[in-house]
Structure 1
Amino acid sequence: MVDIITSMPALFYKESSLMKFVLRKCSILKSPYKPTLWSINGHIQTILTVLWPIQRDLKCKRQYLQVDDGGLVALDWVLPSCCKTSEKINMKSPLVIVIPGLPSNTFVVNDICDMARNCGYRVVIFRKRGQDGLPLTTPKLQSIGDCTDLRETVRFIREQYPKAKLNAVAYGYGTGLLMSYLGEFGSSADLSAAVNISPSYNMQQQFDDVFRNPYNWFMLQYAKLQLSYHAGALLKTLDCDSAFSSSSLSEFEQNVYAKMYGIQDMEEYWDKNNPLREVDEIAVPLLCINSLDDPICHASKIPYDLFTMIPNAILVTTTHGGHCGFFQHLKPDSWANRLAIQYLDSVLQFVHLEDGFKRNSRL
């Protein structure tokens, strides 16, 4: 049992100068991941991300952003925890955009926000249209692969902090949006680094049958609950009765998002929404973290070979960790979040050294 608990993370990547630098700097990868003894089971890890009662002292200031089509998204700017952390932050401080999964307010999201701000990052949580208390100002919700709102958000943040290095960390369901964004915009994504924690690489396979994965049933009920808040605003756009009677996530996508986007053929829908549809175009340094006991994103669905072909992308897998959990220590925090921060730090250090080398070469 001890050998299983303390197994080393497995790494999959293509050799590059960036990867050598990152692996040298990320000390957390040189030791085994040791889950908290009471959270060895992947199901327990997964459930605790939502039900764990101890939350970080997280206060946010909400900023609303109206995008081009009239839709409304929100940016929850995480406030400094004390004067000392406030002194670390300035207009040039690196910035982390956090993209939650489902549900959006979980222990690990609060944990990464607290961890990042204490390390000198400015932190903002991206809230999608129609979620987290946002009114629906247009008869449209955002599909998995529609990057339009995120693109406008990144541009807006860039205008506010033109000298800051922008980064993104996404969880679970939210990784589909970030992966789609990275592929669709490639070298113009305007991010220095990105991290996906517990990503699903092929959403179509995951959503196909609710009975193959009991967690899909809970996700389906949550999606229906979110839809119910805006049913009145969507009556002219959707057949809400069909949406609420959907028996699988795949059927829900067809009855809600495919109809909303005017797509009748689900093959076409997934061509436009699958997170890996333009994976070859990803140019931003990328870290993906998966556990092999994740009950939602199964180990058999992880495209290991992909990471040996994409430049500056690395996959880290652990034996334990569940879905977005990765709990460690008696006073729990997230091992994956600590790795995410070390990874962002190392990439930014590498970029800084590269920029300095280029400047010196021109002199």
Structure 2
Amino acid sequence: MNIFTGSDQTSVEPRLICKPTALAKYLLQQCSSLARPRLASWPRGDPHLQTLSSLLCGQLRHTLEFTRDHLLLRDGGIVALDWAVGTRQGGTSKWKRWEGRKEQQSEGKLGCFSSTPPILLLIPQSWGGTTPHLQMLCHQATRQGFYVVMFRPRGTAGCPLTKARLTEFGDPADLEQAVQYIHSRHPSSMLLAVSEGSGSGILLSYLGECGSSTYLTAAAAISPVLLGQLWFETAMPPIYRSGALFQRKLLLDRYSSSFKAVIDVDRALSCSTLKDFEETLFCSSAQIQQRTSMPRVSSLNSALRPGSHAQQGVAASAAWTLGERAYAAKNWDSYWDRNEPLRDADEVAVPVLCICSRDDPILPPASTLPLPLFQNNPYFLLLMTDKGGHCGFTLEGHDKVKEGSSGNEEVEESNWSHAVVLEYFRAVADFLGREARDVAHCGGAQGEFSQSEHKNRSSNRAPPRRRRTNTMKRPRPQAPGQSSGNAEEGNFMWRRSYTR
């Protein structure tokens, strides 16, 4: 397998499209799964069959045990963090706690993870449900010694909704507070994150807004939504559009009485496309008609005017924590000015692996992928396959679940993207450890990524700022004195200067 810097490759093997840095070359050397596609062929490899199976069908749905932490946010909302702690044995009601991490670490399976188990943060689809695909990744990660925690956005998966406010597609504020909380609980553990499908919206937004201040060491996105506005505006096959809308409407209908003073719930529930539904929820241009038709029966209703904090169910005292998102977006375009996942891509300071398939039936065509981002930004890597569906990537001749000798259910390595992601995290951790040792040995030698360090030092101790509009359309500028030849050589020192 080679590193491709163009888009005209037609090889049937997975293609790694990225800037040829030292990390990219190291991944090719250390990640054997990159050169081992063995993806299932038809009929099992049919993109629709893989997609539906990964999102709806699976034998792992009720075999995992979680313990939940509720996190109170600054604006009074609540998100949940589900920690994987055990698995049900052989279809019985008994649960087995995972206590084998130390034994797994002693066997050297985790490499540089052996001292302290890393934490893997899983970010589900934007509607918050746990798919069999994500359940399988949870199983695989825990078997390999990761501590796994699943992020639950406000109001989803049984998480109580204490504010009449839902999370916008690319709003990373809740995720940022969750990451800070996890780090405070486990300060010595490496923190990694992987998103599934539309969950990439908040993960990529978070990485861009936090920049080098993030506590994450690396991230991955399986079948990510890289261009949010395009995804909402592209026609989706009816079966997937109906499923996604049903999940979103189910959440809204559950709290309809709380939202009726804020949005036109009936209009939202009658929407037939994801675009209309999202616009009705978050854009004031779609709410003007509803506001003007509301009877002015109280001072509270009259306070629901464009731009008021009450319009979003947020007290004025908490509005500063939300910034511009304390107000509904003026229109559809302004909504994406602040929510496009890659709007701050040039601020990302940790490696991000995106795994995509050309036959994905849910995402826009592969020809719309922002390839210049991966060709020019050393932090972004795109792993492209010809088949795999949406969050599918099933391996040939493997079953999802097998019976162990003790009668316990065990997960076989049946998903190629899971194997790649976990191997990628181990390789990145090992690579960064080597780089840190080299820097210490050289007494802090200058490196290729000193541009990021220099930039962040100049803004040290500065308060978090809301970014500008979409910046991923332009190439990342080179640091002063850095030639394109050096960039091609990949003489990088992957260091970060933490600004908070």
Letter in 2 for 1:246: C
Q: Which moved more, 1:16-25 or 1:62-71?
A: 16-25
- Given that 1:210 and 1:217 are in contact with CA atoms closer than 8 Å, whether structure 2 keeps it comes out as no
Residues 1:293 and 2:359 aligned together: yes
Task: Give the secondary-structure state (helix, strand or coil) at the position aligned to 1:192.
Answer: strand
- Given that 2:128 and 2:153 are in contact with CA atoms closer than 8 Å, whether structure 1 keeps it comes out as no
- Given that 1:91 and 1:161 are in contact with CA atoms closer than 8 Å, whether structure 2 keeps it comes out as no
Residue in structure 2 matched with residue 205 of structure 1 by the alignment: 230
Letter in 1 for 2:203: L
| Alpha-carbon offset, residue 36 of structure 1 | 5.8
Match of 2:134 among 99, 109, 117: 109
Residue in structure 1 matched with residue 182 of structure 2 by the alignment: 157
Q: Which runs of 5+ in 2 are unaligned?
A: 1-10, 87-96, 106-113, 285-311, 313-326, 401-413, 445-500
Task: Give the secondary-structure state (helix, strand or coil) at the position aligned to 1:52.
Answer: coil
Q: Which moved more, 1:71-80 or 1:352-361?
A: 352-361
Letter in 1 for 2:370: P
Aligned mates of 2:173, 2:423 — CA distance in 1: 29
Residues 1:281 and 2:347 aligned together: yes
Residue in structure 2 matched with residue 60 of structure 1 by the alignment: 66
Residues 1:193 and 2:218 aligned together: yes
Match of 2:391 among 324, 337, 343: 324
Matches within 5 A, 1:1-363: 7-35=12-40, 38-55=43-60, 57-80=63-86, 81-85=97-101, 92-101=116-125, 102=127, 104-208=129-233, 210=235, 215-259=240-284, 260=312, 261-297=327-363, 298-328=365-395, 329-332=397-400, 333-362=414-443
| Count of residue correspondences | 358
Task: Give the secondary-structure state (helix, strand or coil) at the position aligned to 2:142.
Answer: helix
Aligned mates of 1:17, 1:209 — CA distance in 2: 37
Equivalent pairs: percent with the same residue?
A: 36
| Alpha-carbon offset, residue 88 of structure 1 | 5.2
Task: Give the secondary-structure state (helix, strand or coil) at the position aligned to 1:59.
Answer: strand
| Alpha-carbon offset, residue 214 of structure 1 | 5.2
Rg bigger for which structure?
Answer: 2
Q: Which moved more, 1:339-348 or 1:303-312?
A: 303-312
Alignment CA distance shift 1:232-1:111 (3 Å):
same
Cα RMSD, aligned residues only: 2.1
Aligned mates of 1:299, 1:316 — CA distance in 2: 12
Aligned mates of 2:41, 2:234 — CA distance in 1: 32
- Given that 2:394 and 2:415 are in contact with CA atoms closer than 8 Å, whether structure 1 keeps it comes out as yes
Aligned mates of 2:103, 2:37 — CA distance in 1: 34
Residue in structure 2 matched with residue 3 of structure 1 by the alignment: none
Aligned mates of 1:192, 1:168 — CA distance in 2: 8
| Alpha-carbon offset, residue 208 of structure 1 | 1.8
Q: Which moved more, 1:6-15 or 1:320-329?
A: 6-15
Larger relative contact order, structure 1 or 2 (CA cutoff 8 Å, min sep 6): 1
Q: Which moved more, 1:173-182 or 1:26-35?
A: 26-35
What do the CA deviations read for 1:72-124 (whole angstroms, capped 9, x no partner)? Answer: 10000011554323655898321110001156211111111111111111110
Normalization by structure 1: what TM-score? 0.93
- Given that 1:294 and 1:321 are in contact with CA atoms closer than 8 Å, whether structure 2 keeps it comes out as yes
Task: Give the secondary-structure state (helix, strand or coil) at the position aligned to 1:61.
Answer: strand
| Alpha-carbon offset, residue 33 of structure 1 | 3.4
Aligned mates of 1:210, 1:251 — CA distance in 2: 12
- Given that 1:197 and 1:288 are in contact with CA atoms closer than 8 Å, whether structure 2 keeps it comes out as yes
| Alpha-carbon offset, residue 257 of structure 1 | 2.4
| Alpha-carbon offset, residue 21 of structure 1 | 1.1
Aligned mates of 1:225, 1:169 — CA distance in 2: 26
- Given that 2:37 and 2:416 are in contact with CA atoms closer than 8 Å, whether structure 1 keeps it comes out as no
Task: Give the secondary-structure state (helix, strand or coil) at the position aligned to 1:280.
Answer: helix
Alignment CA distance shift 1:26-1:352 (3 Å):
same
Consecutive aligned runs of 4 or more in structure 1 exceeding 4 Å deviation: 86-91, 209-214
Q: Which has the higher helix share?
A: 1
- Given that 2:65 and 2:84 are in contact with CA atoms closer than 8 Å, whether structure 1 keeps it comes out as yes
Task: Give the secondary-structure state (helix, strand or coil) at the position aligned to 2:51.
Answer: helix
Alignment CA distance shift 1:270-1:214 (3 Å):
farther
Q: Which runs of 5+ in 1 are unaligned?
A: 1-5
Aligned mates of 2:171, 2:349 — CA distance in 1: 19
Normalization by structure 2: what TM-score? 0.68
Task: Give the secondary-structure state (helix, strand or coil) at the position aligned to 1:217.
Answer: helix
Aligned mates of 2:76, 2:236 — CA distance in 1: 38
Task: Give the secondary-structure state (helix, strand or coil) at the position aligned to 1:193.
Answer: strand
- Given that 1:61 and 1:78 are in contact with CA atoms closer than 8 Å, whether structure 2 keeps it comes out as yes
What do the CA deviations read for 1:327-361 (whole angstroms, capped 9, x no partner)? Answer: 12331321101100010010001111122222333
Alignment CA distance shift 1:62-1:211 (3 Å):
closer
- Given that 1:151 and 1:181 are in contact with CA atoms closer than 8 Å, whether structure 2 keeps it comes out as yes
| Alpha-carbon offset, residue 155 of structure 1 | 0.5
Aligned mates of 2:178, 2:58 — CA distance in 1: 31
Task: Give the secondary-structure state (helix, strand or coil) at the position aligned to 1:341.
Answer: helix
What do the CA deviations read for 1:293-317 (whole angstroms, capped 9, x no partner)? Answer: 1001132222223201111321011
